[in-house]
Chains A and B, each alone.
Chain A
Amino acid sequence: MHPLSPVTLEIIVVILGVFLLLAESFSKPGDKSWMPQFSIFILACVFGFSFFTSGNVHDAADGGFWTFYSADGPAMFFKRIALAATAIVLVMSIEYKREIERAIPGESPGAGLGEFYALPIFTCAGLMFMASAVDFLLIFVSLELVTVSFYVLVAYMRRSNASLEAGVKYLILGAMSTGFLVYGITWIFGVTGETNLAKIGSYLSHYQGSPQPLLFGIMLILVGLGFKVAAAPFQIWVPDVYQGAPTPVTAYLSVGSKAAGFLVLMRVIQPFLGVPGVGNRVLAIMTVIAALSLLYGNLGAMPQDNLKRMLAYSSIAHAGYLLVAVTSVSAVVGRLGSAEIAIAYYLAGYLLMTLLSFLVMIIVARHSRGDDIVHFNGLCKRSPFLAFGMLVAMLSLAGVPFTAGFYGKFLVFAAAVEQQHFFLVAIGAITVAAGFYYYLRVVAAMYWREPEDGTRIEISFMSRFVIGGLAAAIIVFGIFPQPILGLLRDPTPSGQSEAALKTSAAPSLQ
């Protein structure tokens, strides 16, 4: 068959979203649970299609579709991450139905659920566009698409003060970071006169002017992106928003925008790495940001008693680990210590374990009416299955071998050690120990303590299936990472895509 054009994926997703909206508005009120199931199915199909798309198509360099959009290996990889994340988030939102209904009183039962199922689809489209964006225009626009939809999702539960407060905080700080992002883009455009990353790269390859304006611009852009990936010191919103937002949205925030943000981050800083007097300082500032995130996230997570909030801090921490890898983007792709591989793999693993923990958390929280750590006491009595799932997730987050999380840390620190970043490694030592502490607190609660009420927890088939699948995936990919690493290759390596790969997947300090 003739390979699909990659953008069909986004198109299908958008159509799905619009369809859901229409269905919501025209269907008579009633049970809406078919919607997420249907869209999960569609997303799964799209996921499947993504293996049959053509790579980048060569066309005139005078601008046009392919100057904004790239479908190289990493792009496809992150599209798939977005799709998977969205599908699992929809599963969560099914489990979360009751809370939503309680929080948004409509005229009819289930009013507003449709939008709650539809908006993530559009977010997914935005994430997919982000994954492919190689031009500041598209980066900005798709980023905003994601952000705006997240504004709505975070504040979705209008009855719950927490949700609204989180929404406002996210809105203000998000808009602020957007301001910085735009201002930064402005500066980069001003210096280089281009918005396309490849063109910026080629312009900068013989750049003579003073580095200050460039650094100023790139820093402002980093502010915007750092906000998206929850890196210190732009993490300030994370704990509150994560805690206040509806749990599925929290999960989505911590996975989706982080993943896309990191891809964009790598694409954006890459052209600057080669510029004398700029590249090294960009990496230096990355080191600072990484160190701050590691410390802030891990240390802040230790005293937390609310699991959701603790996971928020841990999300900052993981941003830190990913940034450690970003600071050592230089090695050749495919060898141990290649930062791109590390980041991609880490994000995939992070997706699995975070979503797993959030899914379990939603179920447990519904049964023991609360998402503090104490609510997990004696879970291994109430539901060994959930306890095991949570155990796997926590161990993976803590980075215990034979879980995806360990491979992630392994690759990250391999990259760091190869670049001799022993400062970050030293901080990593502290933070890993701290990580063991706060993740194992959950394990201890589940296995050491006795439950308040011994009532068993029954789980719907779909959740059971998804939890089992995620746990299995964590362990399997923790032993055989090859499948994930293989996904990073280009769909069809043509000349253009090689170039695209150079700009995206294999930056190197010439």
Chain B
Amino acid sequence: MALTLNDYLLVSGMLFAIGFAGVMLRRNIIIIFMCLELMLNAANLSLVAFSRFNLTARILPDGTHTLVPNYNAQILVFFIITVAAAEVAVGLAIIVALYRARQTTHVEDITSLKF
């Protein structure tokens, strides 16, 4: 049988959930950060799947019509990846600063602000 869109969506959803779970379960900020990357990429997967699924009309140089994937979505994926990279950079910088100040990357150790 052929693959349906939902197969991809399901897989991406599960990937998203895994990342989500990681954020909630892990204590090490760096690993939490990796899990966030997982979430973003899960979104990427379904985006690409959708872009492949929703074909759009396209005029070839020779004037004939044809259907192509919706590249807007792929551009969005491209942006997401870029943003994710930037976020990682900034985030890791913050983590480094935190580590310098507190010698820890564990969430239990940074609960001075509360209530």
Known: A172-B36, A176-B23. A186 touches B29 (CB 8 A): no
**B39-64: which residues lie under 8 A (CB-CB) from chain A?**
39-40, 42-43, 46-47, 49-50, 53-54, 56
In the complex, which residue of chain B has the Cβ closest to the Cβ of A147?
Answer: B87
Q: Does A301 contact B (CB under 8 A)?
A: no
Q: List 25 A-B contacts (CB under 8 A).
A: A140-B80, A141-B79, A144-B86, A148-B83, A151-B91, A152-B90, A161-B102, A165-B112, A168-B29, A168-B95, A172-B32, A178-B83, A178-B87, A179-B36, A180-B39, A186-B73, A189-B50, A189-B54, A189-B76, A190-B50, A193-B54, A193-B56, A195-B76, A240-B114, A243-B113
Q: Is there an interface contact between A159 and B101, defined as CB atoms closer than 8 Å?
A: yes
Shortest beta-carbon distance, A30 to chain B, in Å?
26
- Say how far A136's CB is from chain B's closest CB, in angstroms: 7
Cα–Cα, bound, A165→B110 (Å): 6
- B90 and A171 within 8 A (CB): yes
Shortest 5 CB-CB contacts between residues of A and residues of B: A179-B39, A190-B50, A193-B54, A240-B113, A182-B43
| Chain A residue with the shortest CB-CB distance to B42 | A183
Check if A140 sits within 8 Å of B113, measured CB to CB. no
B residues 69-107 near A (Cβ < 8 Å) are 70, 72-73, 75-76, 79-80, 83, 86-87, 90-91, 94-95, 97-98, 100-102
- Contacts A136-B76, A164-B101, A189-B50 given; indicate if A151 touches B40 (C-beta within 8 A): no
CB contacts (< 8 Å) of A195 on chain B: these are 72-73, 76
Given contacts A137-B79, A144-B83, A175-B87, 5 further A-B contacts (CB under 8 A): A159-B101, A171-B90, A178-B40, A187-B46, A189-B72
Question: Chain A 142-183 against B: per-residue CB contact (8 Å), 1 yes, 0 no?
Answer: 001000100110010011011011111101100110111011
User: Which residue of chain B has the shortest Cβ distance to A180 in the bound complex?
Assistant: B39
A144-B83, A172-B29, A179-B36 in contact; A189/B16 too (CB < 8 A)?
A: no
In the complex the two chains form, is A244's CB within 8 Å of B113's CB? Answer: yes
Task: Report B-chain residues with C-beta under 8 Å of the C-beta of A182.
Answer: 40, 43, 80
Residue of A whose beta carbon sits closest to that of B29: A168
CA gap between A115 and B87 in the complex, in Å = 18
Closest to B99 in A: A164
Residues of chain B contacted by A169 (CB below 8 angstroms): 110, 113
Q: A148-B86, A172-B32 are in contact. Are A164 and B94 (CB under 8 A)?
A: yes
Q: A185 an interface residue at 8 Å Cβ cutoff?
A: yes
Q: How many B residues face the partner with a CB closer than 8 A? A: 44
Question: Which residue in chain B gives the minimum CB-CB distance to A166?
Answer: B113
For B36, B43, B95, B111, which residue has the most chain A Cβ atoms within 10 angstroms? B43
- By a CB distance below 8 angstroms, the chain A residues around B36 are 172, 175-176, 179
Known pairs A166-B113, A168-B110, A172-B29; A185 contacts B54 (CB<8 A): no
Q: Is B101 within 8 A of A186, CB to CB?
A: no
Assess the A164–B98 pair: CB atoms within 8 A.
yes
Do B76 and A137 touch across chains, with their CB atoms under 8 A apart? Answer: yes
Categorize the interface residue count of chain A: 35 or more
A176→B97 CA distance, assembly (Å): 21
Contacts of B16 in A (CB 8 A): 179, 183
Contact B94 A140 (CB under 8 A): no
Question: Cβ of A186 and Cβ of B47 under 8 Å apart?
Answer: yes
Nearest CB to that of A304 among chain B residues? B115
Residues on A with C-beta less than 8 A from B33 are: 172, 175
Residues of B within 8 A of A166 (CB): 113
Residues of B within 8 A of A167 (CB): 94, 97-98
Q: Mark A296-308, 1 if CB is under 8 A from B, else 0.
A: 0000000000000
- Taking a contact as CB atoms under 8 Å apart, the answer to whether B70 and A193 are in contact is yes
Given contacts A136-B76, A161-B101, contact A148 B87 (CB under 8 A): yes
B18 to chain A, nearest CB (A): 12
B residues 1-51 touching A (CB-CB < 8 Å): 9, 16, 19-20, 23, 29, 32-33, 36, 39-40, 42-43, 46-47, 49-50
How far is B100's CA from A180's CA once the two chains are assembled, in angstroms?
31
Q: Is the CB of A189 within 8 A of B40?
A: no
User: Which residues of B sit under 8 angstroms from A239, Cβ to Cβ?
Assistant: 113
| Residues of the A chain whose Cβ atoms lie less than 8 Å from the Cβ of B56 | 193
Interchain CB contact under 8 A, B110 and A190: no
CB distance from B67 to the nearest CB of A (A): 12
> Closest approach, in angstroms, between the C-beta of B56 and any C-beta of chain A?
7
Expressed in whole angstroms, the Cα–Cα distance for A172 and B32 within the complex equals: 8
Looking at the assembled complex, report how far the CB atom of A265 sits from the nearest CB atom of chain B, in whole angstroms: 20
Q: How far is the CA of A175 from the CA of B86 in the complex (A)?
A: 11
Q: What residues on B are CB-neighbors of A137 within 8 Å?
A: 72, 75-76, 79
A171, A179, A189, A243: the one contacting B73 at CB < 8 Å is: A189
Which chain A positions have C-beta within 8 A of B110?
Answer: 161, 164-165, 168-169
Closest to A137 in B: B76
Q: Are A140 and B76 in contact (CB under 8 A)?
A: yes
The reply to whether A151 and B94 form a contact with Cβ atoms under 8 Å apart is yes
The answer on a CB contact under 8 Å between B87 and A168 is: no
Contacts of B80 in A (CB 8 A): 140, 182
Chain A residue nearest to B49 in the complex (CB)? A190
B23 near A172 with CB under 8 A, answer yes
C-alpha spacing A178/B75, complex, angstroms: 17
Write the nearest CB–CB distance from B62 to chain A, whole angstroms. Answer: 19
- On chain A, the residues within 8 Å of B98 by CB distance are 155, 164-165, 167-168
Q: Is the CB of A165 within 8 A of B113?
A: yes
